[in-house]
Homo-oligomer: A and B are copies of this chain.
């Protein structure tokens, strides 16, 4: 199993380099569990989802707390058949057979209930893709059901779903969407945008 994300942080300020540089220290507590590589377009995070998602959260919250309008894009992926198996990505959640969808939705809700409160409002917009299976819309509709009762559901849009709420709950919800839908050993990806401090009305 290979799990990770390509992430990019976009502070809408002429001092974008300063905001990015300052925010990067938020990744420090996660560096032991992640492989991190940066180029001019994005930063690769490889590791278990229990580290990848909170690392993205902490980086984004640090940038958002500067007060500038900031967005983050992430391409999340698990189980891509074209990537090598990597023991550092192991997670107990992605073992065993595919459980009934109601059981998975209940586990997802429990996990979101344990999310920390970070006192930073964020909006998220994302698309979940479960690849290599015939009935991919069944998993996607199951995920949308979970999202609608997650407490941070905002609205559905063409091609994607919007969430809004505290960064802790929003990112816990995204982590559950990523892990609980699609087969445990399957190929699942998320196309994610986070936004904070936008001057435009929601």
Binding site for B on A (CB under 8 A): 2, 4-6, 8, 10-17, 39-42, 44, 46, 69, 71, 73, 75, 77, 80-83, 123, 125, 127, 129-134, 136-137, 140-141, 157-160, 162, 187, 189, 191, 193, 195, 198-202
Q: Give the residue among A4, A12, A162 with the most B Cβ atoms within 10 A.
A: A12
Q: Which residue of B lies closest to A16 (CB)?
A: B12
A159–B40 touching, CB < 8 Å: no
Query: Are A44 and B6 in touch, CB under 8 angstroms?
Result: no
Question: Which chain B positions have C-beta within 8 A of A44?
Answer: 157-158
Total identical chains: 2
Minimum distance in angstroms from A56 CB to a CB of chain B: 14
- Whose C-beta in chain B lies nearest to the C-beta of A127? B75
B71–A10 touching, CB < 8 Å: yes
Assembly CA distance A201 to B199 (angstroms): 31
CA distance in complex: A193, B2 (Å): 22
